[in-house]
Structure 1
């Protein structure tokens, strides 16, 4: 099966960083990700600089990055003002989101779910007028740190509301890493039955170490699109305990070992992960970047022998 990977690290991974990362370094990271063969990158977000200072250079990032042929540069644009800015800056795709959890939505967007959906109707109208793609995401689709389990009906209700605005590409997001394979199967099957004409992408966090298991559950359901973050960086800044996203290079390594194709060069991707670690100046959660591919060989002569007892 061919699996499409959308890289979200430059936005979801960097948004919570306290120290401002120079624009040139953000551009360098995005260019390195594209160089690996990934063709869909969520590059930044057009939100209030006071809310997310790290994204205050969004327009400049879009101006400077190199865009390979057939690439899609997505940006988070949660409201009409952000959408206008993103379109002026040349975004290929807008990403709007609503939480399935009322409490999380108010924490994240300071609005009710109903208010957010009304706002996205305006974003959808603008996207249609300007000929820009719109992808919608449902946050906390697999659980909420404030409300606990989220009913499948709540997720389906938001999915149907998105479809009424014209959305045909929907991401189900495990915002705080609460998904398990059984929950993934239940939610995805229900959403697909409710809105069968919508493309579904899955976005998992590895908070409790289940990220790749949840991907495997999605693949069992023949879902072919996944979002991940280079070197495993990221985590929702408005959700307690939310650690990094599923790591892109770990995901690609797993997919290749299972016989799936991605069109991504893993060695180049690992170099992009090392670049992200260099830019952030600390060790990041990625594992393949350190251990190497499964069949990485070592010179036995350089390995110490066990001492005789």
Structure 2
């Protein structure tokens, strides 16, 4: 299959990127400024916050304040993770226009992450989707551990397809397939997409790959060959997973953009503005970006 002519990039840095940030709580003003910079660079989908218990994810305790503080730009979707009805109601109260729910393709990971089985987690999401649709809010679904689990090892593509199908049939407009611990390789990624697209139309699937083993870009190329045209990424390669030991950050937005530009694939995003944002946000956090492109460009500019 030919590569897509355009890709929609879904920016994860404000939520998935910062949720596991160690040490001091990142100020709300920094999160808001990050979101503004990303939108100004041309990113049209930004996961801005997570309405979860601050007890479990302290960095996301100011979700309502962040959502209220954003100066929303026309044509930009600011979404939030809402794993339960309480989270959804809190998100609706501050005008969130798109939300997300989070399942797993691994039973062991589901138990460690949300303390219930895959089947139970899907049942819990049903009232969330029902309420969101009543409110006219779109719901995105995530499936984690699609290419491997820290507890179970390899995950069968059929298991991924089964969970993705359930989320899609429940009413998720898009299902993002996450290599949470970044262990996937291109052939495994292709086989996972081949199995899943039998149950969910390819235009309703997205790729969310972490770069622990340095394979994320190769895996993205492989799944774009299978028809994937929506990619999740985080500026500066921010992120990790509190329930997946050893998981590194998301694939960096600037690395993905460099690849896509080299392939002649349209994104509508300003690569230099993202690189500048990567240096700015990691400066706020007291370190440098982990992305190859930001570091290389930074050396050239010195």
1:1-309 matched pairs, under 5 angstroms: 1-18=5-22, 19-196=24-201, 199-292=204-297
The 8 Å contact of residues 11 and 47 in structure 2, kept in 1 or not, is answered as yes
CA shift for structure 1 position 160 = 2.0
The 8 Å contact of residues 39 and 68 in structure 1, kept in 2 or not, is answered as no
CA distance in 2, matches of 1:130, 1:110: 28
- Under a length normalisation based on structure 2, what TM-score does the superposition of the two structures give? 0.95
CA distance in 2, matches of 1:35, 1:138: 29
CA distance in 2, matches of 1:221, 1:132: 29
CA shift for structure 1 position 42 = 0.5
Count residues in correspondence: 297
CA distance in 1, matches of 2:54, 2:301: 47
CA distance in 1, matches of 2:50, 2:301: 41
CA distance in 1, matches of 2:49, 2:301: 38
CA distance in 2, matches of 1:31, 1:168: 25
Tell me, which stretches of 5 or more residues in structure 1 are unaligned? Answer: 299-309
CA distance in 1, matches of 2:136, 2:301: 50
Q: Deviations over 1:78-118 (max 9, x none)?
A: 11111111111111211101111011011111111111100
CA shift for structure 1 position 297 = 8.8
The 8 Å contact of residues 13 and 238 in structure 2, kept in 1 or not, is answered as yes
Q: Secondary structure at the match of 1:276?
A: helix
CA distance in 2, matches of 1:297, 1:77: 41
Q: Deviations over 1:208-244 (max 9, x none)?
A: 0001001101111121100001100101111011011
CA distance in 2, matches of 1:203, 1:176: 11
- Under a length normalisation based on structure 1, what TM-score does the superposition of the two structures give? 0.93
Q: Which has the larger radius of gyration?
A: 1
CA shift for structure 1 position 293 = 9.2
The 8 Å contact of residues 168 and 198 in structure 1, kept in 2 or not, is answered as no
CA RMSD of aligned residues (A): 1.6
CA shift for structure 1 position 200 = 0.5
CA shift for structure 1 position 167 = 1.9
Q: Secondary structure at the match of 2:232?
A: strand
